[in-house]
Amino acid sequence: MSSSSNLQVLSILLERAEAERDEGLRQLQDAQARAQRARAQHGDLAQYRNDYQLRWSQQFARQGTMDIVGCYQNFGMRLNDAITSQSHIAEFADQRVQNAREQLQALEMRVASVRKLLERRRLEISRSAQRQEQKATDEQASRAAYAGANPFVRLSA
């Protein structure tokens, strides 16, 4: 494989790695937004439960029948279940954020590795070209020195 096609393949690989990294970043941002919404909803539910308990405890202080107390307790249990469920949803969303963050780090490492490899190949190609140029210059100088020392030799172009 020639040097230029090797660089071309590495450049394509770098573009693909960068695209995957960009997609990983988008997924992380989406996961962060979902986690934030889940935590906010959990907070809203907890605040609603506090308001509900305060409002009804004041109501029961004034008056309350057994039927109303039963409804209050039943709704309170369902509200607690909803808060517990939302807590699990928020924890799961936070775990997805962590997974997306780890995936993004791996993708960023891949981009950095391909970039480093590409730069190393470019440097190798440059050094090789410099060596070839130096070799050609040395050969020319050697021929010129030989021709100068030997008057019967003609230099060919």
pLDDT for residue 68:
81
Residue of 79, 78, 86, 95 lying closest to 39 (CA atoms) = 86
pLDDT at 151 over 80: no
The alpha carbon of 68 is separated from its chain's Cα centroid by a whole number of angstroms, namely 53
Q: What does CATH list as the number for 3-142? A: 1.10.287.1700
pLDDT for residue 142:
85
pLDDT for residue 62:
74
Question: How confident is the model over 84-98, as a mean pLDDT?
Answer: 97
Q: Per residue in 4-54, pLDDT tens?
A: 788 999 999 999 999 999 999 999 999 999 999 999 999 999 999 999 989
Rounded CA gap, 153 and 144, in Å? 10
Question: How confident is the model over 101-110, as a mean pLDDT?
Answer: 98
Q: Per residue in 46-77, pLDDT tens?
A: 999 999 989 888 777 777 678 888 888 899 99
End-to-end CA distance of the chain: 32
Q: Per residue in 121-143, pLDDT tens?
A: 999 999 999 999 999 898 888 88
For the record, the structure tokens of 54 come out as 């305060």
